[in-house]
Structure 1
Amino acid sequence: MTQDKWMSLLGLAHRAGKVVSGEEPVLREIRNGQAKLVILAKDASRNTAKKMMDKCQYYRVPVRHADTRETLGHAIGKDARVVAAILEAGFAEKIAALLYE
């Protein structure tokens, strides 16, 4: 139930232009201070996961996990995505609460 909620909210944020996905765009938004929340697929490669976690920790960006890259991609109407960043605080807070582990 909660999975449907966060996925539809992420889809809404994406349609509003408040989500970027893909490793480089997400890293850029983290560095720019625009990323309010990063969602990382649990099946991301170890290298990618470490890079994202280190960057998020350094810039103090909260991270939540999606079960798979397919789940994350599907939520924003794209193919498999390993990582996505939410750029708007309201969406980020709600999605973070729904994805709280």
Structure 2
Amino acid sequence: MKNNYLNMIGLAYRARRCSLGEETIVKDIQQRKAKLVLIANDIGPQTRKKLTDKCNSFGVPFIIVDDRETLSHAIGKSQRVAIAILDAGFATKIKSLLG
């Protein structure tokens, strides 16, 4: 189950339906492009507050998932603490896999 959602993140990344980096994610939330934001559970408190507050104010769902190592490994990049999913289909599937 857990592995399946990581596979979906990898597919979304390869399909270019993800955004990475704090500023890019915040911009995508504000422009309502982001359909789901995945946040690592070991993210810094200031970054966590910034992302969760933006998600709450713009009505974008977010999920706290595994640590940054697992999240980074899913997309083949290093030290990624948050990923915004830009496609509604991928977002729905990942939410269903995470319960």
Report the TM-score range of the alignment, normalised by the length of the smaller protein: over 0.9
Q: Unmatched 5+ residue regions in structure 2?
A: none
> Would you say the 8 A contact 1:71–1:80 is kept in 2?
no
**Structure 2: which amino acid aligns with 1:88?**
D
What is the match of residue 9 of structure 2? 10
Please tell me whether residue 71 in structure 1 is matched to residue 70 in structure 2: yes
> Would you say the 8 A contact 1:39–1:64 is kept in 2?
yes
Q: Which structure 1 residue ranges, 4+ long, deviate > 6 Å from structure 2?
A: none
What is the match of residue 50 of structure 2? 51
CA apart distance, 1:64: 0.9
Q: Which SS does the other structure have where 1:39 is aligned?
A: strand
Name the % identity: 46
Distance 1:76 1:57 in 2: 25
Distance 1:67 1:13 in 2: 17
TM-score under structure 2 normalisation? Answer: 0.96
User: How many residues get paired?
Assistant: 99
Give RMSD over aligned pairs: 0.8
